[in-house]
Amino acid sequence: MSPSSLIKFLESKFARSIPNMQWPIRPADPSRGLPDGATVVIVGGGLAGSCFARLLLMLCHKENKRINIYLVNSTGCNYCGGLVTNIAQEAMKRLYKLNIPENLVLEKINSCVYVNREGHVKIELPRLITATLRTSRFGVTGFDDSIKHRILEGMEDCTKTSTFTRIEPTIVKRIIPPDGESKKWRVVLSRRRPNGSPDELLADLVVLATGFNSLDKPMINRFMQSTGFKPPPVLRACVTEIDTSTARYNRVGQQVYMIDGIVPGSILAFIPKGKNWLTLTSLNKVLSFEDLQTLFNHPVVKEIIDLPNPAECLRCHVICPSFVFTGPSRCFYGDGWVAVGDLAGYGRVLKDGYLAAFVGAWYAVHTVFYHGTSRTHFARYYHRPLRRFNRENLLGIKLFNFNMFIGRQKWFNRLLLAAAKEERQKNPYGWAIHAAFRGLQTGLLPYLLISLLFVLGLFRYVLRHPFQAWRIIFCRGKENHSEIKKTIFSAARKII
């Protein structure tokens, strides 16, 4: 078996697919769950909220049940990045009967390039990845907005049994739990009634799908105080869109770039969105204009693109701070309310938020429709199947922190690139290190296998080329033997 055949076998054997959605089991009595005539208010019209509304309408139509659904949305910016993996596309089609329209596709990514301070290496991808825009901007329809506007696609007749109302642009000012006099939730809106009083909706179920944009806002703070909701732990990040039409040259092409450590304390990505357009994302740091200059002035990046004044090329003229979850929320449901999407903190950390939204909304809808809306129901039928993410996410964060630490060492960057380039010389598809980078980019492989593939690839290179490895590690730069040993032991302690 050739090295490439072995890697292809591992990738096919351990590749992640759409979760086997067999839980929760549908009860024998379909009358359980939300009763006829119940009202559901979904706060937030992003991906998770729109998917929740669509699937709930699909089940209402299937079971001939009447539910009143309100989707309240502020139409704010939901960040600009967007890579839709093949797993996410398959989940969208299978679970929600939707495809990606051609007008949403800005670029098809056929490969990725790993970049660090010592150089770069190209990684082949097994299948194309779709680059989109999340929120509609620059005259381009966003992926999240497309889902929101296609909630009724293919099931227009469902309105004969249920009602669906989208209210936007409107801000939810307060979400008030039921009190002794009423068993209904009160969702107070920013819009006014003709008599001047605030408009409000009465709900049997409140679905919180506002995403991380709502963190630290008065509405979410009051909601946390009244319900005990606790957002998941998060990692700082940022995103911006760059017009590259003034670049002296641009070799980005149809490749996504993973840029490791060139801006200290961060991992960046270039995502092409067309001939003169790319998205820049950052994990672990909110970039400044000085960081942009550091990035685009670096010799390795200049081999890819020469953009003299990057701060003047931002399409929105700002770098938008954002968040990604790094673990689960400690409390994201209760009697009559549930959080879906990012606010639940379940999914593969630092990977494919689209798939997490699709899967989480599916479990939440089936829970409320077929079982009930109590804390007990959510714990058993919504939270329980999502817990399978926990162990792997813990390893994923350790792997990220380990990379942030050891990636500061020049010798490690040189060794990693040398091993990856040697693999590519043997076979364009590479071997273990290439497979590890593919797993990070596509989300197809578990973090444990990705970690083992990195170790296997480096170990194989050192065994095959001990003299070159010795020179890379010990004979170049200012590092000495004791410093490198100290780095390795410190890094091992961090990941353990």
Nearest one of 125, 122, 149 to 135, comparing CA atoms: 149
Let me know: does 368 contact 345? Beta carbons within 8 Å: no
The tokens of 17 are what? Answer: 């697919």
- What is the spatial distance between Cα 424 and Cα 221, in angstroms, rounded to a whole number? 51
CA 359 to chain centre: 12
The residue to which tokens 């799908």 are assigned: 209
Entry pTM = 0.91
Look at domain 234-323 and name its CATH class: alpha beta
The tokens of 317 are what? Answer: 């003229």
Nearest one of 128, 140, 166, 139 to 50, comparing CA atoms: 166
In single-letter form, the type of residue at position 451 comes to S
Let me know: does 176 contact 188? Beta carbons within 8 Å: yes
In single-letter form, the type of residue at position 18 comes to I
At residue 264, the pLDDT reads 92
At residue 20, the pLDDT reads 65
> Domains of the chain: which residue ranges?
3-10+409-495, 31-101+141-233+326-390, 234-323
Q: Which fold has domain 31-101+141-233+326-390?
A: FAD/NAD(P)-binding domain (3.50.50)
At residue 391, the pLDDT reads 80
Task: Please name the residues in contact with 85: beta carbons below 8 A apart, sequence gap of 6 or more.
Answer: 129, 352, 354, 355, 442, 443
3-state secondary structure the chain: CCHHHHHHHHHHHHCCCCCCCCCCCCCCCCCCCCCCCEEEEEECCCHHHHHHHHHHHHHHHHHCCCEEEEEECCCCCCCCCCEECHHHHHHHHHHHCCCCCHHHCCEEEEEEEEEECCEEEEEEEEEEEEECCCCCECCECCHHHHHHHCCCCCCHHHHHCCEEEEECCCCEEEEECCCCCCCCEEEEEEEECCCCCEEEEEECEEEECCCHHHCCCHHHHHHHHHHCCECCCEEEEEEEEEECCCCCEECCCCEEEEEECCCCCCEEEEEEEECCEEEEEEECCCCCHHHHHHHHHCHHHHCCEECCCHHHCECCCCCEEEEEECCCCCECEECCEEECHHHHCCCCCCCCHHHHHHHHHHHHHHHHHHCCCCHHHHHHHHHHHHHHHHHHHHHHHHHHHHHHHHCCCHHHHHHHHHHHHHHHHHCCCCCHHHHHHHHHHHCCCCHHHHHHHHHHHHHHHHHHCHHHHHHHHHCCCCCCHHHHHHHHHHHHHHHC
Per-residue pLDDT of the chain (496 residues; tens, 9 = 90+): 455 778 888 888 887 776 666 555 566 566 678 999 999 999 999 999 999 999 999 998 888 889 999 999 987 777 777 788 888 898 899 999 999 999 899 999 999 999 999 999 999 998 889 999 988 888 888 999 999 999 998 876 666 678 899 998 899 999 999 987 778 999 999 888 777 667 899 999 999 999 998 888 999 999 999 999 999 999 999 999 999 999 999 999 999 999 999 999 999 999 999 889 999 999 999 999 999 999 999 999 999 999 999 999 999 899 999 999 999 999 999 999 999 999 999 988 887 788 889 999 999 999 999 999 999 999 999 999 998 888 888 888 999 999 999 988 899 999 999 999 999 998 889 999 999 999 998 888 889 999 999 999 999 999 999 989 888 887 654 445 455 555 555 655 555 5
As a whole number of angstroms, the longest Cα–Cα distance in the chain is 83
